[in-house]
């Protein structure tokens, strides 16, 4: 699935020095994910990856440092639309159910938005727990999540 693959790409470039699409494709292959060059190219573009110089004089893929709030919202919106099955709440916890294997990617996109009402997220394979600072803020966060999801 695209969302899971893109989350894997982000994890790979954070953990390893990846300088080419071929290197990235090989790293994905080592994790059991086979992709075409065209798919990899689209993923790189959608994730907004950039190449930055290393201290050794090479270039490596990196996440952009100056992502705009609009970019972050668009990414979260796309991931919520593609992967979220349901959203519910109890007290100050919001539970987001996702398709198998996508919870971590969705949680990462959600975390990137840095909503002040959110203390943090915990993601498993298909479930995300979102801890809200105060019970009175849960309804507002739920509304914003539903708006992002459309």
Domain count, the chain: 2
Would you say the pTM of this structure is higher than 0.75? no
**CB neighbour burial string for 30-40, b if at least 16 within 10 angstroms, e if fewer:** eeeeebeeeeb
Separation CA 148–CA 112 (nearest Å)? 14
Asked if residues 63 and 10 have their Cβ atoms less than 8 Å apart, the reply is yes
pLDDT tens by residue, 53-86: 777 878 889 887 655 666 678 778 888 888 999 9
Q: Give me the pLDDT at residue 47, please.
A: 87
**Of the candidates 52, 67, 53, 129, the residue with the CA atom closest to the CA atom of residue 96:** 129
∠ Cα 130 110 140 (to 5°): 60
Q: Give me the pLDDT at residue 68, please.
A: 62
- Residue that the structure tokens 């997220």 belong to: 121
**More confident site: 141 or 47:** 141
User: Which of 46, 62, 78 finishes a domain?
Assistant: 62
- CATH code at position 116: 3.30.1360.40
Q: Do 102 and 76 belong together in one domain?
A: yes
- The model's confidence at residue 114, banded by pLDDT at 50, 70 and 90, is confident
The residue range of the domain holding 26 is 2-62
Asked if residues 64 and 48 have their Cβ atoms less than 8 Å apart, the reply is yes
């Amino acid at each position: 699935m695209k969302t899971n693959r893109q989350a894997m790409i982000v994890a790979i470039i954070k953990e390893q020095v990846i300088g080419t699409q071929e290197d990235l494709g090989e790293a994905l292959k080592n994790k059991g994910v086979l992709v075409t060059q065209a798919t990899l190219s689209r993923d790189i573009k959608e994730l907004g990856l950039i190449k930055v110089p290393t201290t050794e004089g090479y270039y490596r893929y990196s996440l952009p440092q100056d992502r705009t709030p609009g970019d972050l919202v668009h990414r979260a919106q796309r991931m919520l639309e593609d992967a979220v099955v349901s959203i519910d709440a109890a007290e100050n916890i919001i539970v987001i159910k996702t398709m198998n294997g996508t919870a971590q990617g969705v949680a990462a996109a959600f975390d990137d938005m840095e909503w002040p009402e959110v203390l943090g997220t915990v993601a498993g394979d298909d479930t995300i727990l979102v801890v809200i600072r105060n019970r009175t803020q849960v309804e507002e966060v739920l509304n914003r999540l539903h708006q992002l999801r459309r």
